[in-house]
């Protein structure tokens, strides 16, 4: 008789049932589940005050086992490995990252702010337009162009991420469906 594989994992109580179903799809049998609730209270000094701090921990420890001599073991193990080897593409790209937000904000701040700053509003270009209006437009224009550029380019940046997410989801679903058909 071969030694059975054993796996223990800890999960949030809200996902206990889904986690059990997932692992059972790859031939694992639930042997035990144990709900853990820890509560730690202590007094801390924060400046001149004493503050009561309570930390709680709540999770479920699940223990599974699987027999290496079971029917379709090698294929189930292979499917499980492929399922977990899929790499999630991460969060979707942002329309405006931190750098662009700072650049856009600075452009608009200084452009709009130049209307209210001290200056010589009487100074004019040859065309008779006050210099302060021209300077404000020069400072505001890059911010507006950056906003338009980021909005227009977003679908092009989002499309590869969506394709990667679809492939990730498809590959994991195929592994899971094939494993379920073997159990």
Is 82 contained in some domain?
Answer: no
Is 92 contained in some domain?
Answer: no
Among 19, 54, 70, give the residue marking a domain's end: 70
Is 159 contained in some domain?
Answer: yes
Is 56 contained in some domain?
Answer: yes
Is 180 contained in some domain?
Answer: no
Among 70, 87, 115, give the residue marking a domain's end: 70
Is 38 contained in some domain?
Answer: yes
pLDDT at 102 over 70: yes
Angle, alpha carbons 145-164-73 (nearest 5°): 165
Assess whether 62 and 116 both reside in one domain. Answer: no
Is 20 contained in some domain?
Answer: yes
Angle, alpha carbons 12-16-18 (nearest 5°): 120
151 vs 27: which has the higher pLDDT? 27
User: How many CA atoms lie within 13 Å of 153's alpha carbon, on the beta-carbon side?
Assistant: 12
Q: Which pLDDT belongs to residue 118?
A: 45
Domain count, the chain: 2
Is 76 contained in some domain?
Answer: no
**Owning domain of residue 112:** 98-170
What average pLDDT does this structure show over 59-64?
96
Q: How confident is the model at residue 99 (pLDDT cuts 50, 70, 90)?
A: confident
CA separation for the pair 138, 123 (Å, rounded): 16
Task: Say if residues 28 and 9 touch (Cβ distance below 8 Å).
Answer: no
Q: Which pLDDT belongs to residue 35?
A: 93
Token pair in block for residue 72:
């379709």
What average pLDDT does this structure show over 82-92?
95
Q: How confident is the model at residue 160 (pLDDT cuts 50, 70, 90)?
A: very high
């Amino acid at each position: 008789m071969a030694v059975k594989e054993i796996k223990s994992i800890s999960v949030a109580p809200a996902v206990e049932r889904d986690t059990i179903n997932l692992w059972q799809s790859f031939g694992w049998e639930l042997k035990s589940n144990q709900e853990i609730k820890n509560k730690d209270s202590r007094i801390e000094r924060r400046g001149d005050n004493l503050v009561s701090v309570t930390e709680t921990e709540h999770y479920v420890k699940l223990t599974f086992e699987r027999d290496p001599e079971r029917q379709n073991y090698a294929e189930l193990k292979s499917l499980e490995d492929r399922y977990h080897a899929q790499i999630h593409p991460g969060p979707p790209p942002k329309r405006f990252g931190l750098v662009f937000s700072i650049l856009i904000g600075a452009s608009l701040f200084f452009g709009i702010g130049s209307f209210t700053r001290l200056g010589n509003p009487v100074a004019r270009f040859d065309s008779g337009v006050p210099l302060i209006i021209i300077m404000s437009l020069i400072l505001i224009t890059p911010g507006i162009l950056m906003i338009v550029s980021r909005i227009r380019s977003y679908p092009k940046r989002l499309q590869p991420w969506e394709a990667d997410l679809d492939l990730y989801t498809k590959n994991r679903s195929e592994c899971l469906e094939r494993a379920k058909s073997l159990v």
